[in-house]
Structure 1
Amino acid sequence: MTVFKLPSPNASFMCLHFFVFLLRASAVVATSSKELQSLLNLKSAVQNSNPSLFASWVSTRSVCNFNGVTCNSDNSVIGIELSNRGLTGTLPFDSICQLQSLQRLSLGFNSLSGTVSADLDNCTKLQYLDLGNNNFNGSFPDISSLKNLKYMYLNMSGFTGTFPWNSLKTMTSLLVLSVGDNQFDITPFPHEILGLDNLNWLYMSNCSISGSIPPEIGNLTELIDLELADNYLTGKIPAEISRLKNLWQLELYDNNLNGTIPAGFGNLTKLQLFDASNNSLGGDLSELRFLTELQSLHLHNNGLSGRVPAEFGEFKNLVDLSLYSNNLTGSLPQKLGSWTEFIYIDVSTNNLYGPIPPDMCKRGTMEKLLILQNKFSGEIPATYANCRTLTRFRVSQNSLSGVVPSGIWGLPNVDVIEISENELEGPITSDIANAKSLTELRARENNLSGDLPPEISNASSLGTIDLTGNQFSGDIPENIGELGQLSNLHLERNWLSGNIPDSLSSCLHLSDLSLAYNSLSGKIPDSLGSLPSLNYLNLSNNQLSGQIPATLSSLRLSLLDLSYNRLTGPVPESLSIEAYNGSFVGNNGLCSSNVTYLRPCSSHSRDVRTFIISFVVGFAVLVALTAFYMFFKRRDQKDDGHSLKGDYSWDMKSYHVLSFTEDEILDSIKQENLIGKGGSGNVYKVSLKDGKELAVKHIWNIGPTNSSRSQPGTPMLSKLDSSRCREFDSEVRTLSSLRHVNVIKLYCSITSEDSSLLVYEYLPNGSLWDRLHSGNKLGLHWQTRFEIALGAARGLEYLHHGCGRPVIHRDIKSSNILLDEFLKPRIADFGLAKIIQASGGRDSTCVIAGTHGYIAPEYGYTSRVNEKSDVYSFGVVLMELVSGKRAIELEFGDSRDIVSWVFGKLKNKESVVSIVDVIIPEPLKDEAIKVLKIAILCTARLPELRPTMKTVVQMLEDADPSKLVSIVVAENGSD
């Protein structure tokens, strides 16, 4: 008989323990396998963007050894940390949320895209979620199940639609909520947030929150950071906000808040950063005098009044103060900024008076001193002459007096010196040779005197010099032509004498040149006609003699004024046009058959002039052909009607379905088809066999060297013109991606080693400038003008808001708005446009460009521009349409444009109707004034006060006069 022996109690326990171990082991194996697959699915979705990051993510290794993965003691995945790794792709949340122990998911600062699926709600143990700074689309899902969440970062991730605020009700442990910089649907302030008692960080800037800030915000007493900026908030700052005594940062800027800084606000004694700029706040600053920990205070663009509290002068940590564009009075505390490493002050456009605080650069860290448009008096403190960190020194439009400290002129890092419209004296000293970073020197309307120092040419970055209305004497330095970046030179109303330096022809970027009201003599240099960018030329009221150079005919000038000199001989025929009416008065020796107020030229003088010009031109051509025979042979073939094909190798890129060939275009680029010339190239009209007409811009990639040391009369060697190549690339890159009825259509580009062609649709009615200002207003009834304005606005709105990336045109003007056969507008000439890169956000570009009269005023104090600069330029176009006047007119006076003219009439309370073009009939003038009001908004001095183009289009649509026009036309025939 077999005897079965029972196991001992110890043996039974060991068996049970071993059995449990096996069960656990099998569970771990199963879990590990599932987690492994989840992570491999994640890898598969995003690994192509960073293969090296996922090199350790292989099935032969434990998931706990994967790069960026953390596990707990049970070897379960609790964290994925892959932020800022350059990842792209769409996240598989269905796989990620199968990691049942996952507590931390950090994927911020990548380029992840696609939607965030509702599977995220299955990550129920998540405590930390960071999907911020990515490129997702669509709405964010309901995540009510994530009850353990403490940190949620979703800012700047491309989410739209309605945010699931109800999800927050279950997240009572939430410490950080960051959902700003997403274009959610506009919604009132979500009250669900007010129940998050533990919240210490709330970032909701730029996420479409509207209505008032609820008083219950004061219940979130753990908050240390509250950011509600750039929304649609209205009403007052609630007094209950003063209960947030742990607050160190409060951001409320760019809303529509009103009222005063509430009583009790001074209780926020831990507050270090406060920004409520760009609102409609009133009252005074008295509540802020208790905020002794303040480091940065921004309250600009409000309606604040009263004095700057004296206590600000004792703030030991204050480094950044911005109070510009308010109604503040009194003097600044004299100890302001003297206690710490002060950086920045801007109190411009107030009613402040008294002396400039002397010690804001005491620690040698100050970068910007901006106090313009106030009533400051006394001398410029000598301490700032040693402030080598200064980059901006702007003290214009005050009552400052005395001699400018010599060191100011030579500050090594300053890029703007603006001291205009004061009572300052003394010379510009030779110290200016040290100002290597200086781009703008603005000192107009002072009592400065002495010779212009030749050392000014050492300030090699100078782009703008404006010394109008001073007492400078002597010659203009001959070496001024060494300023290769110079674009604006205004020396009018001084005591300058001598000749106009011929070296100015080396300033290839020069667009504005005004030397009026001096005692300059000699001839107008022929070389001025070679300046490719010159747009504004005022040499009036001098003692210039000789003939008007024929070379000026090649320029496209918005203003030409040679009046009141001693010029003789005939006015070049191409300058004898309506656009330059009045440009030649006061020159008794001039003659013209077309300018009515000048005597007609005799046939003898014409014959002599023709002989001289023919001889000079013939000799120049002979020299040029001898020096450059091989290069110009091909250009001559073009001008003689020969094909461009020759021995060129051409590359054609099409952007639409084409009905023509490369050869048809190349065969048509010849002199007889030339219809226009500009700084960026010649334009030809091409008629195809099927009757279709095209416009072709021909850009040669070869240009002269800009060596200023070549001897006069010596041919200069040629080299690749890189700026034209960049211009071509810019225009092609921009236009090829654009599709809008009010943006000119680019059919294709054709390029060779030597030149480039852009093939556009042909618009038979030329530019808006031509129709408005060259005596051909036929058909420009008010309704037509309005439709041009609205169409152009829609085109510009598309550029700013309708493209994948915003496009800044940077040269909006009436001559860049072309008209088709029905007078419908197209925005054209994108040679200066730049697509804002996504990495730069909606920031700006720092290339100075544009046309005098259309350039936004921020060019005067910053080289950085954005879409609002286009809005300003468009506002100028609207003023042209309403008034019928050019952007620059002689009647506007020295250095004044149509914006100054309009605002001057409004300031002087002249009849607004007097601005409206006289040919617009009386019943329609009110409609024109509606558009003028929009133009005034667009041309606000401060960019942030200008509407967006989306808003401009809406305002124009609301002002549509079509119904009224139809009634008036029926009654009166036409306007």
Structure 2
Amino acid sequence: MFCFYLPCWVKSDELQILLNLKSALNESSTNVFDSWESANSVCSFNGITCNAQGSVKEIELSNQNLVGVLPLDSICKLQSLDKLSLGFNSLHGEITEELGNCLNLQYLDLGNNPFTGLFPDISSLAKLQSLYLNGSGFSGIFPWNSLQNMTDLAVLSLGDTPFDRAPFPDQILKLKKLNWLYLANCSIEGKIPPAIGDLTELIELELQYNYLSGEIPMEIGKLHKLWQLELYNNELTGKLPVGLRNLTKLEFFDASANNLEGDIAVVGSMKNLISLQLFENRFSGGVPPELGEFKKLVNLSLYTNLLTGPLPQKLGSWAEFNYIDVSENFLTGPIPPDMCKKGTMRALLMLQNNFSGEIPATYASCTTLKRFRISNNSLSGIVPAGIWGLPIVDIIDIAYNQLEGPITSYITNAKQMGILSAEYNRLSGELPGEISEAKSLVRIELNDNQFSGKIPHGIGELKILSNLNLQNNKLSGSIPDSLGSSVSISCINMADNVLSGEIPSSLGSLPTLNTLNFSGNQLSGKIPESLSLLKLNLVDLSYNKLTGPIPKSFSSEAYNGSFTGNPGLCSSSIRTFKQCPSDSGLSKDARTIIFCVVLGATILLACLGFFLYVRRVEKDHRRSLKDESWNVKSFHVLSFSEDEILDSIKPGNLIGKGGSGHVYKVMLPNGVELAVKHIRKTDSHSGGKSWSTSFSKHAGKENEFDAEVRTLSSIRHVNVVKLYCSITSEDSCLLVYEYLHNGSLWDRLHTSNKMEIDWDTRYEIAVGAAKGLEYLHHGCERPVIHRDVKSSNILLDEFFKPRIADFGLAKIVQANVAKDSTHVIAGTHGYIAPEYGFTCKVNEKSDVYSFGVVLMELVSGKRPIEPEFRDNKDIVSWICSKINTKESVLSIVDPRIPEVFREDVIKVLRIAILCTNRQPAQRPTMRTVVQMLEESQPCKLVGIVIGKQGGDRKIKEATLDSTEKLGLLV
């Protein structure tokens, strides 16, 4: 009788085990547990597979939004269980030693969950064939000895997990059946052992984002089955071993961001390559001509090396080519003409080389191009007409060549173009009126060409235009009055043309204008009084035909030279100009009274209209929000309700606008202050397409926004702004943050409301902000790349303690997305790392560069972009041009900082220079930055030698103990 009833008891026990699992785990949206009822057979449960005897064989619950702690003591009683798949969930807590009781497991996936603590010894799981722990949050030392008995292991995925630094584990070298080894970003250091060549079944070998050094062992050439080899972002040296020629099945090869040298001839034998990434090394010699015959090649990145010679002319013509980036080399010859032959190319990046010849006409019809960058070469001939009208292009950058011809009317089709950079060429003809149809233009840089005719009147219709550089051309006619409608413009430069007529008074209404240069023209009439309302850092109206009085607001020494060469101007306070005649007619008091009455009436009417408008907008806005259905996800104990937040989202509470949404200040009845960011999930400019995108290669992964909010909600750090909750609807999202009373660091340093910040406070802000970024890069379960680090995103509390804020552009590094790709221009001009301007691959070192710019702001008190920088263009280049002598170094320091602190300030300046190294691999990590900032003794610094053309950069070490020795950095 006992034997007869045993199977029933077994099934009854398994039912209870699965019901226990259901009760331990919560799921929010997938309804995977709907079928898990006691009345049903366990074999009919979603995610459960049984064997022929009706016992549970597999549990497949990956990617189901599960939350909770695994009851392993129960699960491992399933005696027939050979597969446990729980990846891509939100399981937390520690994994206990009970896992070792699942003796029959062949497949174990716990990856992409925020577990904590050490991973236990699992040496008893001798039958394992697949082990996935990537992106799982475990810490400490991994129990490598556990692997010794797993002789059948074929897949080992431990990457993107913050284990302690350790040498390459010898235990792995005994796993002869391995075909996939994923050890990316898990703190492995030292040399790659030659015995790696004994793992001859390997198909994928991924060792990127580690601390590996020394040469690539030639024994890797024994891995004949290798399909993917990833060595990106290590400290490898030496040449590519000749043995790599044997890897004829290799399709993906990435050895970028190392210190490799020599030629790259060996890749000419890898005829099946789909993607070749060797950027940011010291490779020299030519590009193998065999690449022109590769039938599968679609991605090629060789930028920032020392390569010479031509590119194969058939390059990219065989497959659906994606992008090429060979910038910052010494390549010569013509541009290969057929890389867009299949009509799929996204980016052509060839800037800063010595390419010659004409732009191939084939690219004029390459409608898939988003980035077209060929600046700083020796190209000539007429720019193909269609280039100007590429429909989805973000950047057209053809500057610093000898190109000719006009900008054609095709530009009307360039609806997504943000940057038009064509300065220092021989372009000519009239600027087409259709340029006003390129509504996404942010920067127009057409200076130093031969353009003639009138400036299109409609250019003022470009509402987000920031920079308009038209100097050194032959433009004539008047300055368009419509420029007064360009509410976002900060720089207008039309110097050295033949413009005539009067300066439009409408320019005085531009709220963000800080640079205005009309020098060297034939402008006449008076200088508009409205310009006095602007807060200009640079104004230059010299050498024109202006007449009348110079406005009193321009009568200070700061504007010396701004009005010379205008014999008709007069001034009552500037001695170098003739005195203005005394006024006649009405007395001064009468004129003042009339002016005040008119001004008062105007202000009263404007205020009344604005009040009525705000009331109407506020009423409509609140009604639309109330009509939506909201879902609240809290991450802390809340002292407010959903309605209190919704009632506060009104124009009167608006305190800021950004690229990712509007920010409102909320005052709760209990006196607590909050900041609420309102984000619209759809964008009318993109055809209503949702901005939420997949964050994973696997279908069904939660969208980018949900993944980001979930990660940020788990962040607990004193220097990262606290996220209380999210309140979402179908169309909108409200993110509720703590409110910081002292605004942003940008406000304190640069705005009209800036206040004196002593050096001690600046230093504490630097250290605190660095610790916040260090936590994001090194302290989270998965590293978070902010991608928009800047002083306006560093908020200050009432005690001036900093918080890193605004993660609208942040990316969470996923285990299965080792290479972060982006197809939009993210970040803020002046803070963007050089590599981000012409590549799709970024990492934490891009944040380090941006933080270095923030340190330079703290040291100098200057903004990242200042008119005084002139040809140097940004603060990094400006500072590099200053570090030649003791006097020039000291001139960098903000004069508001007392001299007694100068030596301490220079120490921080050294760190800033290290952070802004053009070579990402040479920048310190944020962990190192924190250590250097906290170091009280003189620090050892790596000096930077920057070649004028940016192509030849060498590194040398120097111990710098004083301000004088900083002068060694040249």
Deviation of residue 788 (structure 1)?
5.5
Between the two proteins, what is the percent identity of the paired residues?
58
Deviation of residue 36 (structure 1)?
1.0
The TM-score, its normalising length taken from structure 1, stands at: 0.77
Amino acid aligned to 1:304: F
Amino acid aligned to 2:876: V
Q: How does 1:71-82 map to 2 (within 5 A)?
A: 71-82=50-61
2:629 alignment partner in structure 1: none
* Corresponding residue SS for 1:161: coil
Moved more, 399-408 or 848-857: 848-857
1:407 paired to 2:389: no
Match of 1:876 among 850, 853, 865: 853
Deviation of residue 793 (structure 1)?
3.8
Q: Contact 1:871–1:938 (CA<8 Å) still a contact in 2?
A: yes
1:935 paired to 2:941: no
Match of 1:211 among 190, 194, 213: 190
Deviation of residue 305 (structure 1)?
0.5
Q: Please give the alpha-carbon distance, in whole angstroms, between the structure 1 residues aligned to 2:166 and 2:538.
A: 50
Q: Contact 1:578–1:775 (CA<8 Å) still a contact in 2?
A: no
1:269 paired to 2:251: no
Q: Please give the alpha-carbon distance, in whole angstroms, between the structure 2 residues aligned to 1:746 and 1:186.
A: 32
Match of 1:231 among 205, 210, 214: 210
Q: How does 1:425-504 map to 2 (within 5 A)?
A: 425-504=404-483
2:98 alignment partner in structure 1: 119
Q: CA 1:308/1:140 → structure 2, altered by over 3 Å: closer, same or farther? A: same
Q: Please give the alpha-carbon distance, in whole angstroms, between the structure 2 residues aligned to 1:876 and 1:356.
A: 35
Q: Contact 1:558–1:888 (CA<8 Å) still a contact in 2?
A: no
1:53 alignment partner in structure 2: 32
Q: How does 1:144-159 map to 2 (within 5 A)?
A: 144-159=123-138
* Corresponding residue SS for 2:499: strand
Q: Where does the alignment leave 5 or more consecutive residues of structure 2 unmatched?
A: 618-633, 640-651, 666-670, 685-708, 727-734, 940-960, 964-970
Match of 2:874 among 890, 897, 904: 897
Larger relative contact order (Cα-Cα within 8 Å, sequence gap ≥ 6): 2
2:290 alignment partner in structure 1: 311
Q: How does 1:348-367 map to 2 (within 5 A)?
A: 348-367=327-346
1:189 alignment partner in structure 2: 168
Q: CA 1:265/1:513 → structure 2, altered by over 3 Å: closer, same or farther? A: same
1:535-575 CA distance string (max 9 Å, x none): 54444444444555555566555555445545556666666
1:302 paired to 2:281: yes
1:812 paired to 2:794: no
Q: Please give the alpha-carbon distance, in whole angstroms, between the structure 1 residues aligned to 2:803 and 2:521.
A: 39
Q: Please give the alpha-carbon distance, in whole angstroms, between the structure 2 residues aligned to 1:734 and 1:596.
A: 63
Amino acid aligned to 2:163: F
Q: Contact 1:511–1:852 (CA<8 Å) still a contact in 2?
A: no
Amino acid aligned to 2:327: S
* Corresponding residue SS for 1:88: strand
Match of 2:300 among 313, 316, 321: 321
Q: CA 1:414/1:852 → structure 2, altered by over 3 Å: closer, same or farther? A: closer
1:299-352 CA distance string (max 9 Å, x none): 000000111112222222222111110000111112222222222211110000
Match of 2:603 among 593, 596, 621: 621
* Corresponding residue SS for 1:157: coil
Deviation of residue 397 (structure 1)?
0.5
Q: CA 1:844/1:73 → structure 2, altered by over 3 Å: closer, same or farther? A: closer
Moved more, 164-173 or 132-141: 132-141
Q: How does 1:224-623 map to 2 (within 5 A)?
A: 224-549=203-528, 551-552=530-531, 559-567=538-546, 604=583, 614=596, 617-618=599-600, 620-621=602-603
1:763-803 CA distance string (max 9 Å, x none): 69x9788779999999967x776556445544655676678
Q: Contact 1:78–1:103 (CA<8 Å) still a contact in 2?
A: yes
Q: Contact 2:118–2:139 (CA<8 Å) still a contact in 1?
A: yes
2:625 alignment partner in structure 1: none
Q: Please give the alpha-carbon distance, in whole angstroms, between the structure 1 residues aligned to 2:719 and 2:90.
A: 33
Output the aligned Cα RMSD: 5.3
Moved more, 409-418 or 585-594: 585-594
1:38 paired to 2:17: yes
Q: CA 1:271/1:203 → structure 2, altered by over 3 Å: closer, same or farther? A: same
2:156 alignment partner in structure 1: 177
Q: Please give the alpha-carbon distance, in whole angstroms, between the structure 2 residues aligned to 1:244 and 1:77.
A: 38
Q: Please give the alpha-carbon distance, in whole angstroms, between the structure 2 residues aligned to 1:141 and 1:178.
A: 16
Q: Please give the alpha-carbon distance, in whole angstroms, between the structure 1 residues aligned to 2:604 and 2:746.
A: 40
1:951 alignment partner in structure 2: 928
Q: Please give the alpha-carbon distance, in whole angstroms, between the structure 1 residues aligned to 2:424 and 2:505.
A: 31
Deviation of residue 404 (structure 1)?
0.6
Deviation of residue 283 (structure 1)?
0.8
Q: Contact 1:747–1:760 (CA<8 Å) still a contact in 2?
A: no
* Corresponding residue SS for 1:162: coil
Q: Please give the alpha-carbon distance, in whole angstroms, between the structure 2 residues aligned to 1:170 and 1:759.
A: 51
* Corresponding residue SS for 2:248: coil
Q: Please give the alpha-carbon distance, in whole angstroms, between the structure 1 residues aligned to 2:84 and 2:926.
A: 39
Deviation of residue 200 (structure 1)?
1.1
2:624 alignment partner in structure 1: none
Q: CA 1:615/1:95 → structure 2, altered by over 3 Å: closer, same or farther? A: same
Deviation of residue 186 (structure 1)?
1.1
Q: Please give the alpha-carbon distance, in whole angstroms, between the structure 2 residues aligned to 1:654 and 1:570.
A: 62
Deviation of residue 741 (structure 1)?
7.1
The TM-score, its normalising length taken from structure 2, stands at: 0.78
1:251-285 CA distance string (max 9 Å, x none): 00010101110122211122111100000001111
Q: CA 1:550/1:734 → structure 2, altered by over 3 Å: closer, same or farther? A: farther
Q: Contact 1:419–1:443 (CA<8 Å) still a contact in 2?
A: yes
Q: Please give the alpha-carbon distance, in whole angstroms, between the structure 2 residues aligned to 1:309 and 1:857.
A: 27
* Corresponding residue SS for 2:465: coil
* Corresponding residue SS for 2:87: coil
1:87 alignment partner in structure 2: 66
Moved more, 108-117 or 563-572: 563-572
Q: Please give the alpha-carbon distance, in whole angstroms, between the structure 2 residues aligned to 1:785 and 1:221.
A: 56
* Corresponding residue SS for 2:25: helix
* Corresponding residue SS for 1:282: strand
Q: Please give the alpha-carbon distance, in whole angstroms, between the structure 2 residues aligned to 1:389 and 1:115.
A: 48
Deviation of residue 905 (structure 1)?
5.1
Match of 1:105 among 79, 84, 93: 84
Q: Please give the alpha-carbon distance, in whole angstroms, between the structure 1 residues aligned to 2:363 and 2:825.
A: 28
Deviation of residue 155 (structure 1)?
1.3
Q: Contact 2:258–2:921 (CA<8 Å) still a contact in 1?
A: no
1:715-746 CA distance string (max 9 Å, x none): xxxxxxxxxxxxxxxxx999999987778999
Number of positions where the alignment pairs a residue of Structure 1 with one of Structure 2: 883
Q: Please give the alpha-carbon distance, in whole angstroms, between the structure 1 residues aligned to 2:104 and 2:170.
A: 25
Q: Contact 1:516–1:542 (CA<8 Å) still a contact in 2?
A: yes
Q: CA 1:183/1:847 → structure 2, altered by over 3 Å: closer, same or farther? A: same
Amino acid aligned to 2:194: P
Deviation of residue 424 (structure 1)?
0.2
Moved more, 117-126 or 891-900: 891-900
Amino acid aligned to 1:617: L
Q: CA 1:87/1:683 → structure 2, altered by over 3 Å: closer, same or farther? A: closer
Q: CA 1:598/1:82 → structure 2, altered by over 3 Å: closer, same or farther? A: farther
* Corresponding residue SS for 1:489: strand
Amino acid aligned to 2:790: I
Q: Please give the alpha-carbon distance, in whole angstroms, between the structure 2 residues aligned to 1:294 and 1:785.
A: 50
Moved more, 119-128 or 582-591: 582-591
Q: Contact 1:225–1:247 (CA<8 Å) still a contact in 2?
A: yes
Q: CA 1:129/1:548 → structure 2, altered by over 3 Å: closer, same or farther? A: farther
